[in-house]
A and B are shown apart, each in its own frame.
Chain A
Amino acid sequence: MLDFKKLPLDAQLTALLDGEATPEQKHELEQRLATDDGARRIYDKLRHGSEFGKRRLDDILKEPVPLALVRSIKSVQPPKAPVAQRLSRQSLKLKPTGPQALAAAIILFVAGCGIGYLVSDSRHETLATQAADEAVATDASEWLGDILANQRLLARQPRHIVEVPASQAEEISTWLTTSVGVAFRVPDLSTDGWTFQGARVVLTGGRPTGQLIYTSADGDLATIAFRKDNQPDDTEDFKETIRDEIGLVAWHNAGTSYVLVGPSSEASLGQLAMKIATAI
């Protein structure tokens, strides 16, 4: 606690209001308030002003946050982990003798021949792997592109966002499982403010894709999309991508790709995706 005794009475009383007065000061000020009408009036005025000020400043929280501000923050790349500085080493002096130089040359020649043989043998294999990687990357890019286009289409037709409504839960389960080939559960996101509205099946990159569609009380749209694919298991999961007003968080599990699509202004999209990954 700080000693506010040297401050004017209004500052001392404000410290009392804020619980910043020492027990001794508190006792003194309370005694004064009990006997001094002037001090009491200041104290009441301070309390009154505090209530008024809180209400006024709380009103600022009702103002909408500019979406451009949200996007500008979400698009900033965080710094990479700092690289540890290399320790300086004492330089070694290289002065080989004649036989040592000859031996080193022979070893290098043999090693070079061996490496050359191995490289030529694996070259075809490497090219094939590269081609497969590129195909997977293109496929993933197409899938997210199609999902994004679908989301924009749905947002423009709010009265027709589902093919089968949430009330037909059994139908949704049977229909999507057979048409997409992926067993799933409909995640309950009501505690996060998202209400399940129903499902659709669309084509993304030429493959059937299930979509579970949710809406928020503000009319925002969130979609969980999934399809069978051949993504490798080492793809980066829960990576968030922002495309203007839409945010996408993708992950992969047991031969199935998933993506959560929602408003980019939704700060907890990543956490929501992780919750869905364990529930779906």
Chain B
Amino acid sequence: MRQPVTTIDIRRDLVGLLPRLRRFAMTLAGDAAGADELVQAACQRAIARSNQWQGEGRIDSWVYTLLRQLWSEDHRKRKPHGAQRTNVTDIRNAARDRASVVDSDAIHRMIAEMPEGIASAFLLVAIEGHAYQQAGDIMGVAPALIASQMAQARLHFASLADDTHNRY
């Protein structure tokens, strides 16, 4: 029998990354349907360009970059970020007690309400562990802007958390 050959099938890697890709896309698109559409397009592009992927570095960073590029290319066709603006009570409802059942719609609304780019920057740095330079490369902005966006994101989340604390 021939020995199993270790092959790099980028599709498997992409499927494994899907929850995180969707989350990043959510910070760009602001809604689940738009995020799924964006992820599908980015994965198709990644597969089509898989010959360019050398297997070095983080594949997630590469696909995040493709996602952001697609988002930028397609931005005008889509709804403006935060178009589904609701009142402040709706936003604050997104920050309800964590012990309660996760309300996906509320979380999506919370992200959609944030100024463009800051949720993505926060995700890349605070959660995904990218340096400012790497996050800037993915987002197509200068590292100094990432620092400002990180501060904005943290202060925004802090105000939501304070509100939750005061309400409950």
* Chain A interface residues toward B at CB < 8 A: 2, 4, 6-8, 10-15, 17-18, 20, 45-63, 65-66, 69-70, 72-74, 76-79, 81-82, 233, 237-238, 251-254, 265, 267-268, 270-271, 274, 277-278
Do B40 and A48 touch (CB < 8 A)? no
Residues of A within 8 A of B60 (CB): none
Do A267 and B12 touch (CB < 8 A)? yes
Do A61 and B23 touch (CB < 8 A)? yes
Residues of B within 8 A of A265 (CB): 15
Do A73 and B26 touch (CB < 8 A)? no
Do B125 and A57 touch (CB < 8 A)? no
Residues of A within 8 A of B126 (CB): 18, 50, 53-54
Q: List 17 A-B contacts (CB under 8 A).
A: A6-B144, A7-B148, A15-B150, A17-B154, A18-B125, A52-B157, A56-B94, A57-B122, A62-B102, A65-B22, A66-B36, A72-B40, A73-B44, A74-B15, A76-B44, A78-B50, A79-B50
Known A14-B147, A46-B154: A270·B15 in contact at CB below 8 Å: no
Residues of A within 8 A of B156 (CB): 49, 53
Do B122 and A53 touch (CB < 8 A)? yes
Residues of A within 8 A of B22 (CB): 60, 63, 65, 69
Do A4 and B12 touch (CB < 8 A)? no
In the docked arrangement, what's the CA distance between A48 and B153, Å?
Answer: 11
Residues of A within 8 A of B119 (CB): 57
In the docked arrangement, what's the CA distance between A231 and B37, Å?
Answer: 42
Do B18 and A70 touch (CB < 8 A)? yes
Nearest chain B residue, comparing its CB with the CB of A274: B4
A32 to chain B, nearest CB (A): 16
B104-144: CB near A (< 8 Å → 1, else 0) gives 10010011000000010011011100011100000000011
A267's contact among B16, B43, B125, B144, by CB below 8 Å, is which?
B16
Do A7 and B147 touch (CB < 8 A)? yes
Residues of A within 8 A of B28 (CB): none
B123 to chain A, nearest CB (A): 6
B11's contact among A60, A73, A252, by CB below 8 Å, is which?
A73
In the docked arrangement, what's the CA distance between A251 and B133, Å?
Answer: 45
A257 to chain B, nearest CB (A): 11
Nearest chain A residue, comparing its CB with the CB of B42: A73
Known A7-B148, A14-B147, A278-B4: A76·B154 in contact at CB below 8 Å: no
Verify if B98 is at the interface (C-beta below 8 Å from A).
Answer: yes
Residues of B within 8 A of A54 (CB): 126-127
Do A73 and B153 touch (CB < 8 A)? no
Nearest chain B residue, comparing its CB with the CB of A278: B4
B66-96: CB near A (< 8 Å → 1, else 0) gives 0000000000000000000000000000110
Nearest chain A residue, comparing its CB with the CB of B119: A57
Do A46 and B19 touch (CB < 8 A)? no
Known A58-B127, A270-B9: A69·B18 in contact at CB below 8 Å: yes
Residues of A within 8 A of B131 (CB): 20
In the docked arrangement, what's the CA distance between A72 and B159, Å?
Answer: 40
Nearest chain A residue, comparing its CB with the CB of B158: A49
A29 to chain B, nearest CB (A): 13
In the docked arrangement, what's the CA distance between A45 and B157, Å?
Answer: 9
Known: A53-B122, A65-B22. 5 other contacts (CB 8 A): A4-B147, A49-B161, A53-B153, A69-B18, A268-B12
A277 to chain B, nearest CB (A): 6
Do A2 and B98 touch (CB < 8 A)? no
Verify if B14 is at the interface (C-beta below 8 Å from A).
Answer: yes
B25 to chain A, nearest CB (A): 10
Do B148 and A74 touch (CB < 8 A)? no
